[in-house]
Structure 1
Amino acid sequence: MDPAVRLFLLALVFKSSESLGDELVKNGGFESMDHWGCWQIQCSLTTDKHSGHHALKVTGRHNWYEGPSQFIELTPGHLYTASGWVKLLSDQPGQPGQDVFLEIGYTYTDGSQYFFVAGSHNGVKTSDGWVHLTGNFDVPKKPTKEVRIYYQGPDPSVSFVVDDVSLKEISPVSNWRHISDSVINQTRKSDIHIHVTTASHVKRADVEIHVLQKKRSFPLGTDVSYTAYNSNAAGGKFRAFLQRHFNWATPGLPLKWHFTEQRRGQVNYQDALTTIHGLRKQGLKVRGHNLVWSVKDYVQDWLQQLSGNELRTVVKQHIIDIMNVTHGLLEHWDVNNENLHGTWYQDTLHDPDYDLELFRIAHHADPNVKLFLNEYGVVAGGHSTNDYLKQAQHFKAANVGLYGLGVQCHFPSEYAPEPSLIKKRLDVLAQAGLPIWVTELDVQAQDENRRADFYETALRAVYGHPAVEGIVFWGFWDQAHWLGRKASLVQGDDMQMNAAGRRVFDLFENQWTTDETHSLPTSGQLTVRGFHGDYEIRVMHQGRELANLNKTFTLAKGDHSVNINVHQ
């Protein structure tokens, strides 16, 4: 996107951003200890502050979930933004850092409880100084008995200081749909200028111009189950549906290292390659997911036995090998999956910048493939949005080959996506100046009509944001979806669209696709604003198609002109 256009559109988004309500936290600056509870822990005022005169020092903890807290009043269904600062006073020997959280705890009138992370930061060390925890959220629509805001996370042996806690209500963006439609019109479409000349005996009133989009350019993809794709039973229908409705795909499992090399030296690329070659033969572009995964649970046991130079050598060789095997077959690679929430490689090697080295290795192995970060809790949830922005800026400044940001967008069960929060979080991430891809989209609702509403809201919010360059669902068929029917677009052995599928594909194949017929104006000049993609223009004279005058072209960013001469 042209930088000037992006700045204009982002200004439009920010102009319609939410207003903030009154401060709901009492004594958030900790100039005294009033209104704060420190049950079973020790709290005291300190002049080691973030601002003002004092902060609150927290010691004597026995459990990771203990920290200073305050009861607050929140309204079910309303939106809020939370903020707080924390500074560690000690590091724990043998640990690379501590995870810290600003948490919201709900106790409902039925006695059940729910705990929500409003802001977080992983791997915090004393050398980081004051760390900002911030995020935004909507309150569950359920009657509450009490609500608390509190700090938690570090090992009980680690003391810390907190300061400047804030909680304010956000007014939702009432015109979000209008903003989305404006962005869609400006960024997803361009003008087609049609110039028609006619012979003297041809009445222009008898001429019609049919502008038909044959193929979309905007990337719409899905996770592909390699077992379903290559199945003798369901594979044919699965592949046919995939080819008809999507133009991108991600083999979600067979490229992951813990799948390709479960035992050291026993490498299986065949499942992935069979699927990738099949997808490409069908005309789909393919994302690679992922080279390594920093979350310890997804690091093979044999790999966890390695350290030092041996680990570095094995990781580097793995990246080189798999990128050589897939060379020229993939458009993207997610390099180090969920590196905000898992830092196993960096921790094991005692090298906080090893994540940058992974990108350097991958970029050197194939400079042409586009490299991505990929993370959760940054759009569907907002507790890590600001941390992700900082990580993106760090990678961009390091010049290690980062192309874009992957945002996973797994919305919780029976949760109606909140468009104001989605747009606010995307606005934050867009400040990195990098393309954003929705890499793993799903919503969950048992009722398929409710699910359809959820998908439509999420899609309008993300498709209607100027920084979003592509959208990938994390599955579509209930029998091959990691969440089953409650997140599916298609169900049953015959793969019939449910209400959610019909809604989704109506958006992309009807509402966001151009198919218009116009009578020719007396001027002979016609302008149609069309969605980007491949087109055919058909000319009708007195109800009969003049096939020899048909025009085909690809509409991209920027206007396109077509000249037609009707001479019969």
Structure 2
Amino acid sequence: MSEKMKKVSAELGFCRLICLLLISGYGVHSMSYDYSATTEQCLAEPERAQYGGGIIVNPGFDHNIEGWSVFGKGSIKERISNEGNRFIVAHNRTQPLDCFSQKVQLRKGMLYTFSAWFQVSEGSDIVSVVFKTKGSELVRGGQVIAKHGCWTLLKGGIVANFSSPVEILFESKNSAVEIWADNVSLQPFTERQWRAEQDASIEKVRMRKVRFQITNENGTALKGATVIPNAAKLNFPFGCAMNNFILTSKDYQNWFTSRFKFTTFTNEMKWYSTERTQGQENYSTADDMLKFAKENGISVRGHNILWDDPKYQPEWVKTLTPTDLKKAAAKRMESVVSRYKGQLIAWDVMNENLHFHFYEDKLGQNVSAEAYATAFALDPQTKMFLNEFNTIEYSGDQEASPAKYLQKIKEILSFPGVAGMSAGIGLQGHFASGQPNLAYMRSGLDLLAATGLPIWLTEVTVDPQPSQVLREGYSHPAVAGIIIFAGPEQAGFAQTTLVDQNFKNTPAGDLVDKLIKEWGTGPKIATADGRGIVEISLHHGDYDVTVTHPLIHSPIKLNLTIGKGRSKKEARTSSFRGGHLPIRLLLVALVIETTEQMMKCIGKRMELWCLELSHRKVASLFMLLFAYKLEERKYTGVSEM
């Protein structure tokens, strides 16, 4: 600071506000959920049993096969690998469910997360975990593509809507193979524990704790100072689908723009909407909707380029010969991707290509991978997504299980022409009525997260209330965005209706609005304690912060950007006076208010540069120090808090 400024400060004194982004998150619940899943799908040796096996007896088979029984026909035995690892084997099987089993007691309302490592004696086959209830109902809890020669993790779960014993079974439709298993785990969570895990994860991955300290020049705390952060923009993409009704409804426009900054057009970009008659393309509706979105700062996902379901082709496409279909599909891709190149945040390239195979049946098994390579070549800066249903919604759908999804995305990413492509995992999230299986949903997200690719919930619908699914998605560390396929009754959103004919909230709409406020847009007001300190946990995003106190002539305003931070351990070892300080100073403004004009100083690297605008007597002097933990630099002389 210059001698002149030191003199001014000494004469007048000033109020100092320090805002420091602190550690991410709070302490974790004692029953911590294990999000881990291996990045390698097949290992030479299985990893440890999660939760020590939970309520499973003898999970690692250290006591031979104690606690395990034969189900059906066949035999079971313990086997020891060359490395000394012990595991259980089901052999002499004749039926899919001939295997080892164990009985456990389930309690109504509890969530149970399951995991185990599997091999088969030859080739590869799907192995499923099945819960056999007291009434002989078979409830599948997850599946894995098990291979010979290495161990693969099955992760799944069940939510109990009853209290009774169940028998844990394992199924392989190829009864000729042996099933090998090791390190089996079934861990129960109460609903309260599950919610606590969600909240802890949200604190850790979506929020930062911010500390403000308000003192005068001598370090005297300004007790009672208020800090009011208002979210200007939140980082997490939480959006809502829209359809063409928004172009003609002012009510729809006002409702949407007051809530959402991300969207997917429900039908307007699809092939059957843009080329109903061969050779007659019409993008006018999609163009108008994109124009509306841009004018209102709304980011758009491209949905979709091609759709593998034969039912949802343009009528004229269904009867094309393979040669003509190949030409038409290539023309479609060139047309839609080139038209919107660089204007979208994502493309759903070959929609639902796990359940359906319209293009594969006519053009060959590599057609999906070829479509991704083509889309990438046409629009290389936009993220390319698979987009599938029932991967996390329904454990009984073997066509689109997390294991099958992983297999498909590996196939696509290994195809020539996609090197360097930015890929994403799209999970539609169409949940049926009744209680969602959140244990299965979370385990599926864990498995897909091991790819390192961003996961989006792309078309969430839940009947009748979406809060459980949305909170589960938001709390998962790997989920990078959520789009709900919901909206006004007038616009035809029947499954998840958020507002009625008069644009009044439905119960589902109230829940969504509540979540939007909870996740950052709701106003927060905090008061400084006796040390002049205010601590607030804020969701990642941009904030307009106002600070007031009776001794402050006028409110202090600053802009605050909050992003992901360093670990708790690193934050604790950093020093505020000398040494390494894990912050970068974004703004230091020293403002001397006068009767008409002011003196303003901008600080960079702890040096003050001042522009004198007036020499008149000042009324008050304030220093705003805005610190943001982005990168580690060495600073000295920073006041400790």
TM-score between the two structures when normalised by the length of structure 2: 0.65
Distance 1:176 1:32, change over 3 A: closer
Shift of 1:229: 1.0
Which residue of structure 2 aligns with residue 430 of structure 1? 449
* 1:177-228 superposed Cα distances (whole Å, 9 cap, x missing partner): 22222221122123545465646799833643322223322111111122x2
Where do residues 76-475 of structure 1 align in structure 2 (5 Å cutoff)? Answer: 79=112, 136=156, 138=158, 141=161, 161=176, 163-164=178-179, 170-174=186-190, 175-192=193-210, 194=212, 198=216, 204-205=222-223, 207-226=225-244, 228-231=245-248, 235-350=249-364, 352-382=365-395, 383=398, 384-398=401-415, 399-400=418-419, 401-414=421-434, 416-445=435-464, 451=465, 455-475=466-486
RMSD across aligned positions (CA): 4.7
Shift of 1:493: 1.8
CA distance in structure 1 between the partners assigned to 2:107 and 2:490 by the alignment: 35
CA distance in structure 1 between the partners assigned to 2:299 and 2:334 by the alignment: 21
CA distance in structure 1 between the partners assigned to 2:33 and 2:438 by the alignment: 17
Distance 1:215 1:118, change over 3 A: same
Q: Check the 8 A contact 1:293/1:338 in 2, yes or no.
A: yes
Letter in 1 for 2:428: Q
Distance 1:211 1:121, change over 3 A: closer
Distance 1:505 1:310, change over 3 A: same
Report SS of the residue matched to 1:267.
Answer: coil
Which residue of structure 1 aligns with residue 491 of structure 2? 480
CA distance in structure 2 between the partners assigned to 1:276 and 1:336 by the alignment: 21
Report SS of the residue matched to 2:241.
Answer: strand
CA distance in structure 1 between the partners assigned to 2:547 and 2:167 by the alignment: 65
| Residue 496 in structure 1 maps to residue 504 in structure 2 | yes
CA distance in structure 1 between the partners assigned to 2:351 and 2:524 by the alignment: 43
* 1:374-423 superposed Cα distances (whole Å, 9 cap, x missing partner): 11122122341121123233334444524210111111112x22333222
Q: Check the 8 A contact 2:242/2:266 in 1, yes or no.
A: yes
Report SS of the residue matched to 2:188.
Answer: coil
Which residue of structure 1 aligns with residue 35 of structure 2? 13
Report SS of the residue matched to 1:171.
Answer: strand
Which residue of structure 2 aligns with residue 48 of structure 1? none
Q: Check the 8 A contact 2:234/2:520 in 1, yes or no.
A: no
Shift of 1:52: 5.6
Shift of 1:102: 6.3
Structure number, greater radius of gyration: 2
CA distance in structure 1 between the partners assigned to 2:90 and 2:134 by the alignment: 37
Distance 1:69 1:18, change over 3 A: closer
Shift of 1:478: 3.4
Which residue of structure 2 aligns with residue 505 of structure 1? 513
Q: Check the 8 A contact 1:17/1:173 in 2, yes or no.
A: no
Distance 1:160 1:260, change over 3 A: farther
* 1:444-476 superposed Cα distances (whole Å, 9 cap, x missing partner): 13xxxxx2xxx2222222111110111111113
* 1:263-311 superposed Cα distances (whole Å, 9 cap, x missing partner): 3212221121111211221111111111111122223343233344443
* 1:220-269 superposed Cα distances (whole Å, 9 cap, x missing partner): 1111122x2123xxx11111111111110100111111222233212221
Distance 1:182 1:130, change over 3 A: closer
Shift of 1:86: 9.2
CA distance in structure 2 between the partners assigned to 1:491 and 1:429 by the alignment: 34
Report SS of the residue matched to 2:189.
Answer: coil
Which residue of structure 1 aligns with residue 11 of structure 2? none
In structure 1, list runs of 5 or more residues that go unmatched: 34-50, 59-66, 90-98, 154-158, 446-450
Distance 1:433 1:55, change over 3 A: farther
Q: Check the 8 A contact 1:407/1:440 in 2, yes or no.
A: yes
Shift of 1:341: 1.0
Matched residues, number: 503
CA distance in structure 1 between the partners assigned to 2:267 and 2:53 by the alignment: 39
CA distance in structure 1 between the partners assigned to 2:438 and 2:131 by the alignment: 23
CA distance in structure 2 between the partners assigned to 1:115 and 1:203 by the alignment: 64
TM-score between the two structures when normalised by the length of structure 1: 0.73
Letter in 2 for 1:366: D
Q: Check the 8 A contact 2:73/2:98 in 1, yes or no.
A: no
Distance 1:20 1:73, change over 3 A: closer
CA distance in structure 2 between the partners assigned to 1:471 and 1:334 by the alignment: 14
Moved more, 395-404 or 423-432: 395-404
CA distance in structure 1 between the partners assigned to 2:584 and 2:538 by the alignment: 10
CA distance in structure 2 between the partners assigned to 1:202 and 1:294 by the alignment: 68
Which residue of structure 2 aligns with residue 42 of structure 1? none
Q: Check the 8 A contact 1:177/1:460 in 2, yes or no.
A: no
- Aligned-pair identity in percent equals 23
Bigger fraction of residues in helix: 1
Q: Check the 8 A contact 2:74/2:94 in 1, yes or no.
A: no
